[in-house]
């Protein structure tokens, strides 16, 4: 794969490293190609790049795209707080689109710390990603103690009148907890999400979803993302929300998940057990990372 083709207009002769700023349904990424030279920033370096004064525009995740012996590429993901995470569904669509454009293929394989996945074209700047089978056992989420993940023993607020309770727990390669609630305002999501993100029940931390079922084919979702905060979209969060609502019989196995940045179509295929996510990809600009 030609680096210049992958990064479009970015000048690979520059000493600084080129990047592409992209978003998937509003979820903002800085994508850095690392085929020729390794890209392994420290937590402090990631946080510095995410700072508003740097000029990158801020981001939810920093993405490194590396060579892979078993796939078309390996995708490494850092949250804006510098923590490295297993995977990111919206980033998979963005990186998938870049690889599809660069290779001319109709389908590519992307490996991650959460395991490999495939991405295929689904229309103009639309990509479908096979997110694999959801991990539903309490040990796989993971939880600190054994519970039925269809509705775990967790609540926020007074014991006799909790504001939130009995969420579903799902791993989509990263841990998610999904509350079923009509309360989705910014202050509530920020306050509750930041409280639950580091709850001792979740030894690896957790992404916190707030899902309102509109009807059996539509879910309104807001997500407090582990290490990133309130985001315009979370692809794995949308998948987890569909799985959690379907397990409770609140929706069908395929639904449109409406997030702040747009819409994602999530299909939990009954035959394979895999979750497929389809949504938009947007390239905003290219540039060069500031040199330290």
Told to judge if 234 belongs to the known catalytic residues of this protein, a careful annotator would answer: yes
* pLDDT (tens digit per residue) in 249-272: 999 999 999 999 999 999 999 999
117 and 165 share one domain: no
pLDDT at 36 over 90: no
* pLDDT (tens digit per residue) in 209-256: 999 999 999 999 999 999 889 999 999 999 999 999 999 999 999 999
264 and 284 share one domain: no
Considering the domain boundaries, does residue 143 fall inside one? no
232 and 247 share one domain: yes
Catalytic residue among 164, 196, 206, 234: 234
What's the pLDDT band for 6 if we cut at 50, 70, 90?
low
Predicted local confidence at residue 57, as pLDDT: 87
Quick one: how far is CA 133 from the chain centroid? 15
Told to judge if 94 belongs to the known catalytic residues of this protein, a careful annotator would answer: no
63 and 171 share one domain: no
Considering the domain boundaries, does residue 175 fall inside one? yes
Question: Which is higher by pLDDT, 91 or 57?
Answer: 91
Domain that holds residue 117: 3-132+280-288
127 and 179 share one domain: no
Contact present, 216 and 232 (Cβ < 8 Å): no
211 and 251 share one domain: yes
* pLDDT (tens digit per residue) in 101-116: 999 999 999 999 989 9
56 cis-preceded (ω within 30 degrees of 0): no
Considering the domain boundaries, does residue 8 fall inside one? yes
Percent of the chain with pLDDT over 70: 95
Considering the domain boundaries, does residue 34 fall inside one? yes
Q: Which CATH number belongs to the domain containing residue 43 in this structure?
A: 3.10.310.10
Considering the domain boundaries, does residue 146 fall inside one? no
* pLDDT (tens digit per residue) in 90-104: 999 999 999 999 999
170 and 114 share one domain: no
| Helix/strand/coil for 172 | coil
93 and 78 share one domain: yes
| Helix/strand/coil for 207 | strand
182 and 245 share one domain: yes
pLDDT at 190 over 60: yes
Q: What is the pTM of this model?
A: 0.90
What is the number of structural domains in the chain?
A: 2
Considering the domain boundaries, does residue 181 fall inside one? yes
How many Å apart are CA 43 and CA 30, to the nearest integer?
A: 15
What's the pLDDT band for 165 if we cut at 50, 70, 90?
very high
Q: Percentage helix, strand, coil, to 5, in the chain?
A: 20, 35, 45
Average pLDDT value over all residues in the chain: 92
Considering the domain boundaries, does residue 139 fall inside one? no
* pLDDT (tens digit per residue) in 10-23: 444 445 789 999 99
Contact present, 25 and 233 (Cβ < 8 Å): yes
Q: Which residue, among 192, 216, 245, 227, has the nearest Cα to 82 in the 3D structure?
A: 227
Predicted local confidence at residue 292, as pLDDT: 62
Phi/psi for 183 (5° steps) reads: -90, 110
Catalytic residue among 88, 102, 110, 266: 88
18 and 51 share one domain: yes
* pLDDT (tens digit per residue) in 130-151: 999 999 999 999 999 999 999 9
Q: What own/partner pairs with CB < 8 Å and gap ≥ 24 does 136-142 have?
A: 136/170, 136/171, 136/243, 136/247, 138/169, 140/171, 141/169, 141/170, 141/171, 141/175, 141/176, 141/202, 141/206, 142/171, 142/175, 142/202, 142/203, 142/204
**HSE (side-chain half, CA atoms, 13 Å) at 106:** 2
Considering the domain boundaries, does residue 168 fall inside one? yes
109 and 167 share one domain: no
15 and 127 share one domain: yes
How many Å apart are CA 8 and CA 22, to the nearest integer?
A: 13
């Amino acid at each position: 794969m030609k680096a210049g083709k992958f990064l479009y207009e970015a000048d690979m002769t520059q000493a600084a490293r080129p990047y592409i700023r992209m978003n998937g349904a509003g979820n903002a990424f800085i994508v850095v190609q690392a085929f020729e030279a390794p890209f392994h920033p420290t937590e402090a370096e990631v946080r510095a790049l995410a700072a508003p004064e740097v000029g990158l525009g801020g981001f939810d995740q920093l993405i490194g795209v590396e060579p892979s012996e078993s796939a078309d590429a390996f995708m490494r993901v850092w949250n804006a707080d510098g923590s490295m995470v297993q995977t990111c569904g919206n980033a998979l669509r963005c990186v998938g689109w870049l690889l599809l454009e660069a290779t001319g293929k109709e389908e590519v394989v992307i490996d991650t710390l959460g395991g490999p996945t495939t991405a295929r074209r689904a229309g103009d700047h639309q990509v479908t990603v096979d997110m694999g089978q959801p991990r539903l056992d309490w040990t796989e989420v993971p939880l600190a103690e054994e519970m039925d993940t269809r509705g775990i023993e967790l609540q926020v607020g007074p014991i006799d009148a909790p504001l939130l309770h009995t969420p579903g727990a799902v791993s989509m390669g990263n841990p998610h907890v999904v509350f079923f609630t009509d309360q989705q305002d910014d202050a509530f999501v920020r306050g509750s999400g930041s409280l639950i993100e580091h709850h001792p029940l979740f030894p690896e931390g957790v992404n916190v979803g707030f899902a309102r079922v509109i009807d059996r084919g539509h879910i309104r979702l807001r997500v407090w993302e582990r290490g990133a905060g309130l985001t315009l979209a979370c692809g794995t969060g949308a998948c987890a929300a569909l799985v959690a609502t379907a397990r409770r019989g609140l929706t069908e196995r395929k639904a449109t998940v409406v997030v702040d940045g747009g819409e994602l179509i999530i299909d939990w295929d009954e035959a394979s057990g895999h979750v497929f996510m389809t949504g938009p990809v947007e390239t905003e600009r290219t540039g060069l990372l500031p040199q330290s």
